[in-house]
Amino acid sequence: MSVALLSPAFAVAPSEILADPKLEARARAIASELRCLVCQNQSIDDSDAPLAKDLRVIVRERLKDGASDAQVRDYVVARYGDFVLLRPPVKPETLLLWAAPGLALLGGAFAIYAAVRRGRRRSDPACLTPEERAQLQALGVSTERKEP
């Protein structure tokens, strides 16, 4: 198996790479936290989209100008909003986004509980009409309530 297949595939072109390895490492770290607005499920570091390339260039230019990592992120967020972050911050506007998995889990648990409870109620002999009891007795099925 080729070593190239084992290493992560980055879309960064050689012409984009900064000469300073420390600045390049910072650029890669920031780019891995920013969402490609075209692909939406990739970071700009992984995306081949032209907009992702433009964002990578902006990140590197801002770093070369002496901006801190936080300043670079803030600059991109100011232009594109929290959606550009792969891990958006928890705040009132994004609260539903963060709560959605828990709400879905609670909804699923409630649905299972309701289905089980409904199934138990349907099997309760006390809910049978006299005609249904007579039909079951004719088939030889006991209609006596069984305690769990």
List per-block mean pLDDT (blocks of 10 residues) for the chain, which spans 148 residues.
Answer: 43 76 91 88 88 92 93 94 87 83 94 84 68 83 63
Rounded Cα–Cα distance for residues 72 and 91 (Å): 20
* pLDDT of amino acid 4: 42
**Superfamily of structural domain 3-89:** Cytochrome C biogenesis protein (1.10.8.640)
Q: How far is CA 120 from CA 25, 124, 129, 131, 132, in A?
A: 60, 6, 17, 20, 17
What is the per-residue pLDDT for 32?
A: 92
The CA distance from 44 to 77, in Å, is: 14
- pLDDT at position 6, please? 37
Burial class (CB in 10 A: 0-12, 13-18, 19+), 46: middle
pLDDT at 54: 92
Q: In this predicted structure, what is the pLDDT of residue 94?
A: 79
- In 10 A of CB 30, how many CB atoms? 23
pLDDT for position 7: 38
Q: Is 146 helix (H, G, I), strand (E, B) or coil?
A: coil
**What φ, ψ does residue 75 adopt, rounded to 5°?**
-65, -45
pLDDT at 3: 40
On whether the CB atoms of residues 65 and 56 are closer than 8 A, the answer is no
pTM, two decimals, is 0.58
User: From the CA atom positions of the chain, what is the Rg in Å?
Assistant: 29
